[in-house]
Structure 1
Amino acid sequence: MRERRVAETAQSLRAEARRLTAEQGFSGFTIEELCEHVGVSRRTFFNYYASKENAVLGIAVRTDTVELDEAFVAGTGHLLDDLAELLLARWDLFAPTRAEGAELGRVFDREPRLFAHFVALAAESERDDTALALRRPDCAGDALRAATAVHLLGALLRPTVAQYFADGDTDIHGLLRQRLTVARDLLSS
């Protein structure tokens, strides 16, 4: 019951932050006004999101991926397969809908600086994932190998997400795995 209420509050804050941004622009409302629309306190807001930007993007404070990250580090499979599974497991935590993707598109059109913030967060995530990969035995401190794996999967994931939102394909797991198979074929020939 509590988990459902927490998820509903996070979703309400995220949806209202996006609606207000699309309608009024990012600087057209305050956190206090957002909280008033949702019916929560400012203090409650910061239990869910670290900033107004993160509320709009849907990046929650309490997203715990430690178990996923450690499973990746301990992985005994192929580096690229294990990294793909990590990225897909993280995707599943957020499970954005197509409606949310369209909503974010409208927000990015209205506020390009939020897209820049999103890109900066993605770059930070790539650095973090490279550090995780460096902890794996199959990278053995090889920074170039770790970074290349992370960048390759990122390059495959971006068009996969775009296809997921554009085509209505519901199997993002299959889409990413297909692209990884094609990439392996291209790189091996």
Structure 2
Amino acid sequence: MNDSATSGSGLRQRKRAATRGAITATARALTAERGLNGYTVEEVCEAAGISRRTFFNYFPTKEDAIIGHADDDVPADIIDEFVAGGSDSPSGEISPTLFRDLVRLSLQLSEHMSASEEETRQLIAVVKKEPQLILRIMGVTEQREAQFARDVARREGVPADHPVVQMAVVLLGTIARKSSMAYFSDGNTRPYQELLMENISAASLLFSQPFNTLETTAAEGHQ
């Protein structure tokens, strides 16, 4: 593929992402104002400047539009950089820089989150108004975590169900959620990155403590 074709493909992807973002922002604003049943898809289309057909090309329902697309939260170039960071390690072996690069990835994603902070606050307000959307959010979260596992596995050259890959997904996902809950809580004045690094440092300290698997197993056997 030549450079012009690659550039054209990238431009189309950005346009699609921009259209998806506009639909989601409009749907969230209308939901926050009127509730989920207080407006129609046609009103979303009119406010976003798109056709009904375009809406359904991107989202099957209003609820899906409100939650947003699973691909829109993680810029492809950031993931590509993360995956490339494991290229110096033999495929199938966990690279010695994986944890460091996961922390760096988390910080990069936090910068992206800061750029869309108002949208996140708007989504929180929408969910408070329409709590039934939580199940859909959980579904999208599972999709994102499954894709993250595939990205980590691709970087390391191991299966997506590798225990280190799965632990990376669980640990980073939990830390991100805990940090976000603290950041968006009423009265918080601390930056998200500070909260994130505090939680990552706490996890790093905990898991850096030595333990002997055989001794642990033996102790459990005597109980």
The alignment's TM-score, normalised by the length of structure 2, stands at: 0.66
Q: For residue 46 of structure 2, what is the aligned residue in structure 1? A: 36
User: Which residues of structure 2 form unaligned runs of 5+?
Assistant: 1-10, 87-95, 210-223
| 2:171 equivalent to 1:161 | no
User: Which residues of structure 1 form unaligned runs of 5+?
Assistant: none
Shift, 1:168, TM fit? 3.7
Helix, strand or coil at the partner of 1:136: helix
Shift, 1:183, TM fit? 0.7
Partner AA of 1:176 in structure 2: L
Decide whether the 8 Å contact of 1:14 with 1:56 is kept in 2: yes
Please identify the structure whose Cα radius of gyration is greater.
2
Q: For residue 27 of structure 1, what is the aligned residue in structure 2? A: 37
* CA–CA separation in structure 2 for the residues paired with 1:66 and 1:38: 25
Q: How many residues are matched?
A: 184
Shift, 1:146, TM fit? 0.3
Partner AA of 2:200 in structure 1: L
Deviates more, 1:125-134 or 1:26-35: 26-35
Matches for 1:5-154 after TM superposition, within 5 Å: 13-45=23-55, 49-51=58-60, 52-59=62-69, 65-76=75-86, 78-94=97-113, 95-97=115-117, 99-137=118-156, 140-141=158-159, 143-154=162-173
Shift, 1:6, TM fit? 9.1
Decide whether the 8 Å contact of 1:50 with 1:60 is kept in 2: no
1:23-67 deviations in whole A, cap 9, x for unaligned? 4332332221112234433345467x4353343234387677333
Partner AA of 1:161 in structure 2: S
Q: For residue 196 of structure 2, what is the aligned residue in structure 1? A: 176
- Cα distance 1:123–1:96, how it changes in 2: closer, same or farther (>3 A)? same
* CA–CA separation in structure 1 for the residues paired with 2:70 and 2:56: 9
Partner AA of 1:175 in structure 2: L
Shift, 1:188, TM fit? 2.1
Helix, strand or coil at the partner of 2:184: helix
- Cα distance 1:135–1:102, how it changes in 2: closer, same or farther (>3 A)? closer
- Cα distance 1:60–1:93, how it changes in 2: closer, same or farther (>3 A)? farther
